């Protein structure tokens, strides 16, 4: 079974996908982590992020692995654990080059589809329901108002970087939304058969229960 979860930054999809995978005993596929890991390698190697040929060549010489245990995920690139590094602001600010490169997306989609052959999966990203797993048994599109999404990000940041302002977080999310929805390659869009959930006024538990109910009801049918 494949459960596809898409949505913009801060919509809660990573938390929900992880919880679902753990609860159901499914593998967890964090596709954003894959784009982030390749960005990390490209920056380490000094590859120009606008150079499609160089990026594709780099990816062809790369081994990317997601190892899940109890739905906690470790990301390895060429055997190096980059789980922490790929969350750094320098990666978040540059990952859009990689995720808007046609040849890279083609390769990533193949890898992601191969991951799902290994068993049941909860897959999260921007194009899970539309491009990577159009055949997914269940598709969800999580969304929330921008202020709420920024609030969630701000709460994540606050313990470590107290100097970051709420306004800066909103601006950052606006930029990411614009990049995700207007890019040429697989822009973020709700698949017509995905269930839309606005999480603005919902707790994580409420979203989780709503999704679980949908999954359980379709399994019973
Ligand atoms: O979900 P995230 O913030 O970790 O995603 C990192 C970046 O990768 C973000 O710019 C969107 C992009 N992305 C994508 O284009 N397609 C996906 N399936 C997943 C992420």
DSSP string, 129-188: IIII-TT-SEEEEEE--HHHHHHHHHHHHTTT-TT--HHHHHHHHHHHHHHHHH-SSS--
The residue whose C-alpha atom lies closest to atom 6 belonging to ligand 1 is 32
172 C-beta closer than 6 A to ligand 1: no
Closest to 70 measured CA to CA, from 125, 27, 33, 115: 27
In the chain, what are the domain boundaries?
2-209
> Which residues in 20-46 are b (16+ Cβ under 10 Å) and which e?
bbeebebbbbbbbbbbbbbbbbbbeee
Please tell me the CATH code under which domain 2-209 is placed.
3.40.50.300
For ligand 1, the distance from its centroid to the CA atom of residue 95, given in whole angstroms, is 8
Question: Does position 125 have pLDDT exceeding 90, yes or no?
Answer: yes
What is the model's pLDDT at position 54?
98
What is the model's pLDDT at position 72?
Answer: 79
The answer, yes or no, to whether any atom of ligand 1 lies below 6 A from the CB of 126, is: yes
Supply the pLDDT for residue 155.
86
Give φ, ψ of 44 to 5 degrees. -60, -40
Pairing of strands 27-30, 121-125: parallel
Tell me if 97 CB under 6 Å of ligand 1.
Answer: no
Q: How many CB atoms lie within 10 A of CB 109?
A: 16
- Residue 221 pLDDT level (bands cut at 50, 70, 90): low
Instruction: Tell me if 95 CB under 6 Å of ligand 1.
Output: yes
- Summarize the confidence of residues 201-214 as an average pLDDT: 97
35 Cβ closer than 6 Å to some ligand 1 atom: yes
Please state the atom number of ligand 1 nearest to the C-alpha of residue 100.
15
Give 23-44 pLDDT, tens digit per residue. 999 999 999 999 999 999 999 9
| Cβ of 127 less than 6 Å from ligand 1 | yes
pLDDT tens digits for range 127-186: 999 999 999 999 999 999 999 999 998 887 766 656 788 899 999 999 999 999 999 999
Measure 100 CA to ligand 1 centroid, in angstroms.
10
* CA atoms within a 13 Å half-sphere pointing along the CA-CB vector of 182: 6
Residue whose CA is closest, atom 4 of ligand 1? 32
Residue-wise pLDDT for 43-53, tens only, equals: 999 999 999 99
Query: How far is ligand 1, taken at its centre, from the CA of residue 87, in Å?
Result: 12
Model confidence over 59-114: pLDDT tens digits? 999 999 999 876 678 999 999 999 999 999 999 999 999 999 999 999 999 999 99
Question: What is the distance between the alpha carbons of residues 165 and 214, in angstroms, rounded to a whole number?
Answer: 38
**pLDDT at residue 71, rounded to an integer:** 65
């Amino acid at each position: 079974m494949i459960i596809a979860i898409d949505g913009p930054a801060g919509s809660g999809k990573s938390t929900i996908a992880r919880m679902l995978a753990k609860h159901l005993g499914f593998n967890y596929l964090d596709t954003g982590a894959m784009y982030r890991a390749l960005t990390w390698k490209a920056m380490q190697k000094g590859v120009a992020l606008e150079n499609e040929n160089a990026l594709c060549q780099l990816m062809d010489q790369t081994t990317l692995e997601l190892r899940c245990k109890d739905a906690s995920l470790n990301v390895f690139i060429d055997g190096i654990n980059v789980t922490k590094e790929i969350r750094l602001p320098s990666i978040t600010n540059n990952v859009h080059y990689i995720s808007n490169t046609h040849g890279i997306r083609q390769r990533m989609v193949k890898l992601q589809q191969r991951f799902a052959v290994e068993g049941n999966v909860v897959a999260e990203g921007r194009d899970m329901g539309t491009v990577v797993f159009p055949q997914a048994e269940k598709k969800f599109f999580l969304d929330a108002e921008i202020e709420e999404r920024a609030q969630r990000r701000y709460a994540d940041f606050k313990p470590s970087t107290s100097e970051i302002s709420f306004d800066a977080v909103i601006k950052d999310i606006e930029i990411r939304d614009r990049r995700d929805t207007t890019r040429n390659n697989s822009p973020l869009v709700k698949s017509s058969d995905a269930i839309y959930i606005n999480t603005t006024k919902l707790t994580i538990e409420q979203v989780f229960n709503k999704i679980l109910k949908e999954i359980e009801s379709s399994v019973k049918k």
